[in-house]
Structure 1
Amino acid sequence: MLRIGISARLLHEPPPGLGLPQKRLQFLESSMAHWVMAHGAIALMVPFVDENSPHLVNRVPASEVVDLLDGLVLQGGIDVCPETYGGTLLRPEWAGDPVRDRYELALLRGFIEARKPVLGICRGAQLINVYYGGTLLQDIPSQRRSPVLHQDLAHYDRLHHEVRFEPGLLLDRLYGSSVHSVTSIHHQCVDRLGEGLIVEARCPQDDVIEAIRATGPGFVLGLQWHPEFHLLPAEARQGLIDSGPLMEAFLQATRERADRHRKPA
């Protein structure tokens, strides 16, 4: 059975009611785990090791974590820190989390160098772009002045907008070239595309990049929307695209890579 690592979300200052004062928490959003496991794979969160921990010198090497797992999913969450991609912070609330950036970029590097499949969701797609040398737009409403609402925290996962897939590419082959509806929870997006990446999807109303893919060896795909929130019966999805083909494509690439490198008995 395939073992899919999922990067941890970090909560640096837990609310007092949780009973864990001054403790950083790491967590896995359940919809993401359900999406992976609904397709017959095991979902395993990859713990973050505190950079200031006295136990850091004894940590398991990242290469051994990569060896243990078959593929990686980067969860969504807080903004990517502008300093991570050489940008200048425009507003304090967009500072992101540089600690999480370093943790996830190290994971991403290990999986890409091992040519093990990677799927980035929302923030994960943005981080993939940064890894390949790209930059991000820190705020779509103020910098792009888009007519499309890409984030509305009052509605959270109930906000939808259209995407169009680029003809002949992976997503177009999975879903067809008509306009599709997806869940949107982001105010940042790809600005300058990273080297070795191609655009797989855009929002047709404002040209915001909604999906990217690496052209080199291996499977590296970033989606700006949240397909894990589409894991519903067809009659309940309200026109949202089925998340199944995406996960199946990722797992098929993972399975093929595992088969090529399986050691003989």
Structure 2
Amino acid sequence: AYTKSIQRNGGTPIILPPLFDAEYQQLYDTVDAVLFTGGPDVDPILYGEEPLPKQGAIDPLRDDFEFKLAKIALAGPKPVLGICRGLQTLNAAVGGTLIQDIPSQVKDPIKHAQEAKAYYGTHHVRLEPGSMIYGIFGKDKVVSNSFHHQACKDPAPGFKATGWAEDDVIEVLEIDSPVWKLCVQWHPEHMAEGEMNKLFKAFIDACKK
């Protein structure tokens, strides 16, 4: 779904698997932008916390690879898009923290791990007027799908929350940069037949600049 969404909007997807001792700068230099995708939980040790009982599976090799690439991508001159775990990875890689388990750590949470099909939106996300994400969709509320039990707790320096679920869980992070850099907590690639394609179009359009 990620690759189809990139191709639909005129991009050519290049998949970078987690590599041990990779030449991160060289990898970054070969592409026009970086998309950080969904996946397992981020190891809480990496953002200074001990694992809680509801912490899920982790992938240390992927964490190491993506954290190193994230630091280069966030400091670099190319667009960045983070999706679900991608938002969490980018935030935690540069000093942010995460909610390890929404049901046990958030007061009166809504359901963030939907059982409906991935193409179906199950909760609202309110968007900050004047933000980048507001500009992409042209309105202050969208309906998203939801497949996560972790989320951003404290945005990293230079990161700003611009979208929230009704329980105030952060759903969008924007990075203070002259370059297009944005993260969403939902999975727009599964809803890209509809208005969520606007997100991928904006990403690919930014790559062409």
- Residue 43 in 1 paired to residue 13 in 2? yes
> What's 2:190 paired with?
229
- Write out aligned runs for 1:51-200 (5 A): 51=20, 61-91=23-53, 93-152=55-114, 154-155=115-116, 157=118, 158=120, 160-200=122-162
Q: Supply the AA of the counterpart residue of 2:132.
A: L
Match of 1:28 in 2: none
Residues 70 and 140 of structure 1: is their aligned pair in 2 closer, same or farther, counting only changes over 3 Å?
A: same
Change (3 A) 1:66 1:178: closer
Pick closer, same or farther for the CA change 1:171–1:163 going to 2, 3 Å: same
Please point out which of 212, 215, 225 is paired with 2:173.
Answer: 212
Q: What SS does the aligned partner of 1:119 have?
A: strand
Identity of aligned residues (%): 34
1:40 to partner: Cα distance = 1.0
Give the TM-score taking structure 1 as reference length: 0.73
Structure showing greater Rg: 1
Decide which moves more: 101-110 or 132-141: 101-110
* Larger RCO of the pair (alpha carbons < 8 Å, separation 6+): 2
Per-residue deviation, 1:190: 0.7
Whether the aligned pair in 2 keeps the contact of 1:159 and 1:185 (CA below 8 Å) is no
Q: Deviations over 1:6-30 (max 9, x none)?
A: xxxxxxxxxxxxxxxxxxxxxxxxx
Cα distance in 2 for residues equivalent to 1:92 and 1:174: 35
- 1-side partners of 2:91 and 2:75: how far apart? 16
Native 8 Å contact 2:128 2:140 kept in 1: no
Distance 2:138 2:178 in 1: 24
SS at structure 2 position matched to 1:44: coil
The CA distance in 1 between the partners of 2:54 and 2:171, in whole Å, is 25
Distance in 2 between the 1:167 and 1:136 partners? 25
In structure 2, the gaps of 5 or more residues are none
CA drift at 1:111: 2.1
| Cα root mean square deviation, aligned | 1.8
Deviation of 1:244 after TM superposition, in Å, equals 2.0
Alignment of structure 1 residues 12-23 onto 2, 5 Å: none
What is the one-letter code of the residue matched to 1:214?
A: I
TM-score, normalised by the number of residues in structure 2:
0.92
**Structure 1: segments with no counterpart, 5+ residues:** 1-30, 235-241, 257-265
Distance 1:231 1:180 in 2: 13
One-letter code aligned to 1:208: V
